[in-house]
Structure 1
Amino acid sequence: MKFIGIVGTNSDQSTNRALLQFMSKHFIETAEIEVCEIKDFPAFNEPKDKTAPKGIQELSDKINEADGVIISTPEYDHSIPAALKSLIEWLSYTTRPLIDKPVMIVGASHGSLGSSRAQAHLRQILDAPELKARIMPGSEFLLGHSLQAFDEEGELIYPERVTELEECFEEFCLFVSMTNQLVKDHRFKTEQNRKFTWEQLADGGEK
Structure 2
Amino acid sequence: MNFVAIEGTNADFSYNRMLLHYINRHFASEHRIEVCEIADLPAFNADLDVNEQSAVLALDKKIKGADGVIIASPEYDHSIPAVLKSTIEWLSYQLNSFYKKPVLIVGASYGPQGSARAQFQLRQILSSPDVMANVLPGNEFLLGNVMQQFDDEQNLKDPTVIGNLETSFHDFVDYTTTFKK
Both proteins in one fold, TM over 0.5: yes
Residue 120 of structure 1 corresponds to: 120
Deviations 1:38-89 (A, max 9, x none): 0111100112544361011001000000000000001111110000000000
Q: How does 1:5-84 map to 2 (within 5 A)?
A: 5-47=5-47, 49-51=49-51, 53-84=53-84
Please state whether the residue corresponding to 1:163 is helix, strand or coil: helix
Residue 98 of structure 2 corresponds to: 98
Aligned residue identity for 1:30: E
What percentage of aligned pairs have identical amino acids? 50
Higher mean alpha-carbon deviation, 70-79 vs 47-56, is at 47-56
**Structure 1 unaligned regions, length at least 5:** 182-207
Query: Under a length normalisation based on structure 1, what TM-score does the superposition of the two structures give?
Result: 0.85
**Structure 2 unaligned regions, length at least 5:** none
Number of residues of Structure 1 aligned to a counterpart in Structure 2:
181
> Which is greater in Rg?
1
Cα RMSD, aligned residues only: 1.1
Query: Under a length normalisation based on structure 2, what TM-score does the superposition of the two structures give?
Result: 0.97
Please state whether the residue corresponding to 1:130 is helix, strand or coil: coil
Q: 1:166/1:54 Cα in 2 relative to 1: closer, same or farther (>3 Å)?
A: same
Residue 3 of structure 1 corresponds to: 3
Q: How does 1:91-170 map to 2 (within 5 A)?
A: 91-170=91-170
Q: Report if the CA contact (8 A) 2:50-2:56 is conserved.
A: no
